[in-house]
Amino acid sequence: MDGGILEPSLYMVKAVAILDNDGNRLVTKYYDDQFPTSKEQKAFEKNLFNKTHKANSEIIMFEGLTCVYRSNVDLFFYVVGSSQENELILASVLNALYESVSQILRKNVEKRALLDNMDAVFLAVDEICDGGIILDSDATSIVQKVSLRTDDLNIGEQTMAQHLSKKLEVLQSAKEQIKWSLLK
């Protein structure tokens, strides 16, 4: 086999990151061992942020990696792949990430809203990419999957008034059914 030709691989994404406007990590997922420790990951993120936060482009070759990125208000979104990776594929992952987060945050893409919805954002990242393999790049389907899971997770966070109003609705419905069955 020729050393210059690489075998195709499903493992296209090396990392996904969302940083704040100071370069601090908010959401990160690394899918290989290039940066094995948290210290190395944070150093990479800081250097990447310093290189990109004032740039107007959307793609950069950085430390032997292809990085696509996008910023909005006080957030920076990054998708990282190998130097041989197709930039268009990485850009589609970036767009899926950004659009999913935008829909989850109801178009209010900023740090405070992201922190308030961190669980849903992590679920979205997991729906987009697993172990470096791209699973989905359609923001609408990602948000639907995430919303199904967060509906299940938020049962414990519902207020007592919400529980009571649901029980009253069920009770009222049962009362109506009994009334109509007796009148027949």
Q: How confident is the model at residue 1 (pLDDT cuts 50, 70, 90)?
A: very low
What is the CATH architecture of 13-156?
2-Layer Sandwich (3.30)
pLDDT for the residue numbered 30: 94
Q: Above pLDDT 90, what percent of the chain?
A: 41
How far apart (Å, rounded) are the C-alpha atoms in residues 97 and 138?
9
Q: Tell me which residue of 94, 98, 91, 103 sits closest to 144, measured CA to CA.
A: 103
Q: Is 75 exposed, middle or buried (0-12, 13-18, 19+ CB in 10 A)?
A: buried
Determine the average pLDDT of the residues in 124-136.
91
For the chain, the structural domain boundaries read 13-156
Q: What is the pLDDT of residues 64-81, one digit of tens each?
A: 999 999 988 889 999 999
Q: Above pLDDT 70, what percent of the chain?
A: 84
